[in-house]
Structure 1
Amino acid sequence: MSEPKAASPTTGDTYKGWLFKWTNYIKGYQRRWFVLSNGLLSYYRTQAEMGHTCRGTINLATANISVEDSCNFIISNGGAQTYHLKASSEVERQRWITALELAKAKAVKMQAESDESGDEEPSSAQGDKTELQATLRTLSSKVEDLSTCNDLIGKHGSALQRSLSELESLKLPPESSEKIKQVNERATLFRITSNAMINACRDFLSLAQTHSKKWQKALQYERDQRIRLEETLEQLAKQHNNLERAFRGATVLPASSPGSAGSSKGSGSHGKGDMSDEDEENEFFDAMEDAPEFITVPADPKYHKRTGSNISGISSELALEDHLMEEQPVAANHELSTREIVPRKKRRNRIPDKPNYSLNLWSIMKNCIGKELSKIPMPVNFNEPISMLQRLTEDLEYYELLDRAAKCENSLEQLCYVAAFTVSSYSTTVYRTGKPFNPLLGETFELDRMDDCGYRSICEQVSHHPPAAAHHAESKRGWTLRQEIAIASKFRGKYLSIMPLGSIHCIFANSNNHYTWKKVTTTVHNIIVGKLWIDQSGEIDIVNHKTGDKCHLKFAPYSYFSRDVARKVTGVVTDPSGKAHFILSGTWDEKMEFSRIMQSTRGENGTEGKQKTVYQTLRAKELWKRHPLPDNTENMYYFSELALTLNESEDGVAPTDSRLRPDQRLMENGRWDEANTEKQRLEEKQRTARRKRESEAIKATEDAEPVESWAESPVKSTHVDSYKALWFERREDPVTRELTHIYKGGYWEAKEKKDWSGCPDIF
């Protein structure tokens, strides 16, 4: 695409074009798109941002414009904002200076007029009155100009007549006298014509003054009629809205009811303040208002395939867009109304406040650098009163996304919701700097929300070294989630890296679509000095093993020098051929949006030589938004609404359930010294049980093999542990071919029978 001209006037008083703006000493001058309109000078990083993200605005009515040299100039509004700008040439700079000066003069005049007119009338009526007053003032000024011209004509005409009379009195040759007489006659004719013009102007002025009041009354009447009509329409809209709500309250609408789609948000502001300087590899191009937007990402042959133009078949795409953007919110409303019919169990909404205990962190951590977190004997002072099994169950905080995905008939749409669910699982970690309790071997945690939310979940700690937990969740709305997560972690002094290992599986019963993905790395910063904060970074590939569809998500690591939004997540959804269909964007702590791709083209090379793909998309729609945290959450370990209920006592759970763990319960109640003592007791009990299993396994092996073979390999006896999980069994996953623990059933049946005879004594 060709680059637009540096600056160009448009309709009205708008003036826009490229200028170079000083950013900082590192970046220097950066090219920005400036727009001068209605007395305001605004700038954007690209032309495409004009629809959603303004980087800064200066009101010219209060601004000072100064010229530095042939190409540079400065605009300042008294110190709060100062733009150091540079044009591409001296001619271009002069065009901008002229446009800015004219706009400033007009803005000052308009501001003075608005100060005189007051603000009692509505904005629309005030606008009409201002326009009328401006027209009348223009007419008055023109009449004043005519009067001035009248005076000047009379003055100069009289002077001319006197000069001619003086010439006639002089003794001149006959030829000259004849010429002077001729000139005198022409001057007389000019005076007569001028007087006639002046009289006609006076008649016009008199007529205009006579009818101006009639015109003002007519305009005022039309304005009053318009305001009355707008008020009537507003009342009708309110009555229509009340009737709709009354109808919905009386009946339950089907999910596919037309005309009741939820309102959608526009692309919104993706930047904050003067974040003028986002990824330099991204290039945007102008799009007309209400036209598709342009989104650009670096081209990666692994995930992106250039498709040229895919305008063919747009009608079916748009029909699909209507289904995705409009029917889904209605379906969600239908779910909500259905859930409200089911009486919810009253659950707790707070836990005891966190005590303020001081602890010398360095005395504990200085000898642990380079060791794995699971092998460090940590006091409960660094924990939060929740186990790793309960923390794993928090992935279901936004289970509604999977409910919506289960209703999608198109696999690419479904993949968008699965991707949003993947990102949403990290939103609960943004302020959670406490470490969960390491589960004991054989510890379980159940979450039965089948009655009110339609799902239930069971977790079990299936391995201690390395620590690994297996999780299985099922929903009556047609989806199953299972995972085995092992935690690898390293303490590096300034930060702690937590690397979850293992795959997550999501299966939908209706379509038999089977998705898998892995988790990204979590980093806890400022372990020794400063305020703790958490970041998520890495890349995730969500794969549909049935269709071959993929979603590539990128979690951008935080950087002080980055111009991107903090905690940014981007993604592209592609089909098996590599053709991109959706763009995902947002942050892992707030929300995710998605945009349907209408066309993609190969762009220019970026700053690092990477080729870019330019995607033309429809407007972004919201997929997921984080729930607000409960009141007083900063004193309750920043738990979410779901997390506050996880450790709540519940009848009928297995004796190995995390809710029954004594050290965790003591810590939640604020009795941390007793909790530390109890924690040591439980860990020693676990070590004793492990040594007993190892000795029994060694004895069984010695009975089965000759003693001489052990003499040849005595090390063989040091790593024998015959422990097997109770509710999960380790076998090869049929899809990923990985050895993993898969739920074998029996837990909910045992709970119904109240038969926990197979559970180990771990507490």
Structure 2
Amino acid sequence: MQNVNGRELEAGFLTAMEWSFCITTPARNQGEMAHTCRGTINLSTAHFDTEDSCSIVLTSGARTYHLKASSEVERQQWITALELAKAKAVCMMSSHSDDSGDEDDETASPADKSELHSTIKSLSLKLDDLSTCNDLIAKHGAALQRSLSELDSLKIPYESSEKLKAVNERATLFRITSNAMINACKDFLELAETHSRKWQRALQYEQEQRIHLEETIEQLAKQHNSLERAFRSAPGRATNPTKSFSEGSLLTPKGEDSEEDEDTEYFDAMEDSTSFITVITEAKEDRKAEGGTTGSVDWTSSDNVLDGASLVPKGPPKVKRRVRIPDKPNYSLNLWSIMKNCIGRELSKIPMPVNFNEPLSMLQRLTEDLEYHHLLDKAVHCTSSVEQMCLVAAFSVSSYSTTVHRIAKPFNPMLGETFELDRLDDMGLRSLCEQVSHHPPSAAHYVFSKHGWSLWQEITISSKFRGKYLSIMPLGAIHLEFQASGNHYVWRKSTSTVHNIIVGKLWIDQTGDIEIVNHKTKDRCQLKFLPYSYFSKEVARKVTGVVSDSQGKAHYVLSGSWDEQMECAKIVQSSPSSPGSDGKQKTVYQTLPAKLLWKKYPLPENAENMYYFSELALTLNEHEEGVAPTDSRLRPDQRLMEKGHWDEANTEKQRLEEKQRVSRRRRLEACSRGCGTEEEKEADVYVPLWFEKRLDPLTGETACMYKGGYWEAKERQDWHMCPNIF
């Protein structure tokens, strides 16, 4: 093959397993004799185009190669082979990068796990081959039909011979592509026949699991009835029948099933979903231990702190805040056309237009977690550390309530971008966020409350596009400290998943476990976010939990949903239940009536046209005087988008991103020492302005913590140290 300049090129592509296209040229000098390959193109992200009947243009990122074949037939042979290899490369890159573990949870049986995975991948590859060949056959068939139509209208013998030559060439191309598709079909059929028996075994295993599930539910119902009868007949009990309060999916602390959550394979959300059962009893009865672990506790007056915890007195604000923003324009854009070549990549590295954003930055979304700060204000007055833990747990869950309808992506902050929330007058707190790293994206956050608590965190967002869904994993610990008691709580965020990326309505789910630890008293709270399942009868978005002390004794049961409310119920007695059909025991908690801890505020009127922003979110991007020049409120592309000027916002976004790339190159060029990766060099060169890296003694991790100076600089209006990022 030759390039457009006539220079000899020897082009050859590696196998699809190696996912690259290798370009070789003759050596220009003796020093190049040892180099056999002058460049490679990753086939999974490459784009193929044609300039004329014999030219091929290969594009991958910023690199473009112009190749020329000796004839149109040879060019089409190369195009066909390259497109087949690209389909395999994309599929295999996707499967190799998908480490979410979802496939591991959906295997047919533990014995056939790895073999079935391999079979599924092989069948998927063959299906991709069939799909690609089908597209090529359709394209070549249409071209052949056009040539035949032109042949019918010819009259000149010379022109007839030329057209006949074109028909022959297209017929040859069609035969090549047809043969490729026939071979792919044969391979697919052979695989399907070979593994048909395994699919039958998988179906049989699923049927057995369903029978086992039905037996488990029946056993639970019998246990519930026996508990009711035992409670009615017990001496000194109230005559009113008890009723079931809730069923959690959390393992009991220090219980027999402590490793069950990791070892059990879940084929739907209902399998072994109840590891404890709670039963409501009366609050004023005299109770005695009746076997198992018991605790005679009273619904004391100190617990009044938990009463009405969700009711917040709201007086007239001293500063009038806005209550609406411009309605979201109706722009249509195909998400799949942008995301199809980005499978397996970090979301922060995918160039996305503002059409998929909301007019808030990630720093502002992080600040939005403080919407229910009143829970922490109430927790300050708790004299019991386990009661305080209940309110802290409710606060940790409340931060997810704003995500239920928020399917748009926040803006990725520029390196050095900040956001302040100075609301001492009405909220009693001051909050500061700074983007301290760009790759990977990381933000440091510090909050001070005049009511006697402070919160800090450094959150690194790790996100992967998986094809059908998007996984967002916030990494980093959240610290909360109460000054008066010295109670220091640490927890981490759960995983967020955006479903139906390709087809259907987008929706968000929160999954995983959260463990909150009080490092002073060693109290713990285990929270579990139940994943949504079509077959589950549980309430959607359900969260369950147990609060226990340093000895492992359970004091409170938590229950609710992360998008609506959380309740707590004090445990007065616990005992093991009778073994189920699987031989496992669960713990039965006898509790007092549940009390409301937190309830979500209703959304503002017309919220569906304002990105489903909450009352607080509507005020976060409101223009304020005196903020730092790096504040998110001053970001021009975000401001243009909020006003509805999306075309101008996209242009401005590209300008800002290019400006950031230039600044990054300058920093890396200034770093003359070190031979690590570019990310490591940048981490060594860039120094945050308001935060500094320190070793966290509780987690053993290095994290950015507030070093002070911001609010003093704001008071002086001295911002000379701030970088020019906008």
TM range (shorter): 0.5 to 0.7
Q: Which residue of 1 aligns with 2:632?
A: 658
**Identity among equivalent pairs (%):** 63
For residues 18-97 of structure 1, the aligned pairs below 5 Å read: 46-47=224-225
Alignment of 1:543-622 (within 5 A): 543-606=517-580, 608-622=582-596
- Letter of the structure 2 residue corresponding to residue 757 of structure 1: H
Identify if the C-alpha distance between structure 1 residues 607 and 697 changes in structure 2 by more than 3 Å, giving closer, same or farther: farther
Matches within 5 A, 1:209-358: 281=274, 308-311=292-295, 314=296, 317-318=297-298, 320=300, 322-324=301-303, 326-329=304-307, 336=313, 340=315, 343-358=317-332
**TM (normalized to structure 2)?**
0.62
Q: Distance in 2 between matches of 1:586 and 1:332?
A: 13
Deviation at 1:733, TM superposition (A): 1.3
Tell me, in whole angstroms, the C-alpha distance in 1 between the residues paired with 2:515 and 2:653.
Answer: 38
Q: CA separation in 1, counterparts of 2:211 and 2:292?
A: 40
Change (3 A) 1:675 1:511: same
Taking structure 1 as the reference length, the TM-score comes to 0.59
Cα distance in 2 between the residues matched to 1:483 and 1:718 = 22
CA spacing shift, 1:286–1:503, aligned 2, 3 Å:
closer
Q: Which of 468, 491, 495 is the matching residue for 2:469?
A: 495
CA distance in 1, matches of 2:646, 2:337: 18
Distance 1:400 1:474 in 2: 13
* Counterpart residue type for residue 713 of structure 2: A
**Cα–Cα, structure 1 residues 515 and 48, in superposed 2: closer, same or farther, change >3 Å?**
farther
Q: 1:293 and 1:381 mapped to 2: Cα distance?
A: 62
Q: 1 CA distance for matches of 2:628 and 2:622?
A: 14
User: Which residue identity does 2:658 align to in structure 1?
Assistant: E
1:729 is matched with 692
Give the SS at the match of 1:452.
coil
Give yes or no for contact 1:551–1:572 (8 Å, CA) kept in 2: yes
What is residue 725 of structure 2 aligned with on the other side?
762
- Asked if 1 retains the 8 angstrom alpha-carbon contact of 2:694 and 2:704, the reply is yes
Structure 1 residues 346 and 583: alpha-carbon distance in aligned structure 2, compared to 1, 3 A threshold: same
RMSD between superposed Cα atoms in Å:
3.3
CA distance in 2, matches of 1:287, 1:648: 47
Change (3 A) 1:737 1:282: closer
Code of the aligned partner of 1:475 = S
Matched, 1:426 2:400: yes
1:330 & 1:592 partners in 2: Cα distance? 12
Would you say the 8 A contact 2:305–2:381 is kept in 1? Answer: no
Residue type of the alignment partner of 1:310: T
Aligned to 1:554, the other structure's residue is in SS state strand
Distance 1:497 1:606, change over 3 A: farther
Cα 1:569–1:608 shift into 2, 3 Å: farther
Cα 1:685–1:594 shift into 2, 3 Å:
same
Task: Report if aligned partners of 2:393, 2:525 keep a CA contact under 8 Å in 1.
Answer: yes
Change in Cα spacing, 1:357 to 1:293, as seen in structure 2 (3 Å) is: farther
Contact preservation (8 Å) 1:446, 1:459: yes
Q: Give 2:599's aligned residue.
A: 625
Q: 1:363-374 maps to which residues of 2 (within 5 A)?
A: 363-374=337-348
SS of corresponding position for 1:605:
coil
Residue 635 of structure 1 is matched in structure 2 by 609
Supply the AA of the counterpart residue of 2:298: L
Separation (CA, whole Å) in 1 of partners of 2:507 and 2:286: 35
Pair 1:527 & 2:506 matched:
no
CA distance in 2, matches of 1:49, 1:388: 49
Cα distance, 1:561 vs structure 2: 1.3
Select 1:672's aligned residue among 628, 637, 646. 646
Q: Does 1:719 align with 2:651?
A: no
**Structure 1 residues 381 and 268: CA distance shift in structure 2, 3 A:** farther
Q: Distance in 2 between matches of 1:487 and 1:679?
A: 20
Tell me which amino acid in the other structure corresponds to 2:650. Answer: N
Deviation at residue 607 of structure 1 after TM alignment: 5.1
Given candidates 351, 371, 377, the residue that maps to 1:403 is: 377
Aligned partner of 1:449 in structure 2 is 423
Matched residue pairs, number? Answer: 481
Are 1:750 and 2:713 counterparts? yes
| CA 1:693–1:539: 2 relative to 1, 3 Å | same
Which amino acid is 1:432 matched to?
R
Cα distance in 2 for residues equivalent to 1:589 and 1:560? 18
Query: d(CA) in 2 for partners of 1:546 and 1:286?
Result: 31
Query: Which one-letter code corresponds to 2:590 in the other structure?
Result: Q
Using the alignment, how far apart are the partners of 1:347 and 1:638 within structure 2?
Answer: 17
Question: Given that residues 596 and 617 in structure 1 are in contact (C-alpha distance below 8 angstroms), is that contact kept between their aligned partners in structure 2?
Answer: yes
Contact 2:695 2:703 in 1 (8 A): yes
Pair 48,404 (structure 1): closer, same or farther in 2 beyond 3 Å? farther
- In structure 2, give the amino acid aligned to 1:562: S
C-alpha change, 1:267 and 1:671, in structure 2 (3 Å) is farther
CA distance in 2, matches of 1:507, 1:714: 37
SS at match of 2:380: helix
Aligned match of 1:542? 516
- State how far apart, in whole Å, the 1-side matches of 2:554 and 2:374 are: 26
Contact 2:317 2:426 in 1 (8 A): yes
Paired AA for residue 719 in structure 1: K
- Whichever residue aligns with residue 624 of structure 1, its letter is W
Q: Which amino acid aligns with 2:544?
A: T
> Residues 319-353 of structure 1: CA distance to partner in whole angstroms, max 9, x if unpaired?
53x321x35547887x73xx63x742111111111
Paired residue secondary structure (1:504): strand
Partner residue in 2 for 1:254: none
CA contact (8 A) 2:418 2:631 kept: yes
Aligned pair in 2 of structure 1 residues 360, 548: CA closer, same or farther (>3 Å)? same
Q: Which runs of 5+ in 1 are unaligned?
A: 1-23, 34-42, 52-265, 272-276, 295-305, 702-709
Distance 1:419 1:556 in 2: 16
Is 1:380 the counterpart of 2:354? The answer is: yes
CA distance in 2 between partners of 1:691 and 1:559 (Å): 47
Give CA deviations for 1:441-474 in whole Å, capped at 9, x if unaligned: 0000001110111111000000001100000011
Match in the other structure for 1:58: none
> Secondary structure of 1:693's match?
helix
Compared with structure 1, are the counterparts of its residues 455 and 307 closer, same or farther at alpha carbon in structure 2 (3 Å cutoff)?
farther
**Aligned-pair CA distance for 1:592:** 0.4
Partners of 1:628 and 1:670 lie apart in 2 by: 25
Structure number, greater radius of gyration: 1
In 1, Cα distance between equivalents of 2:554 and 2:359? 44
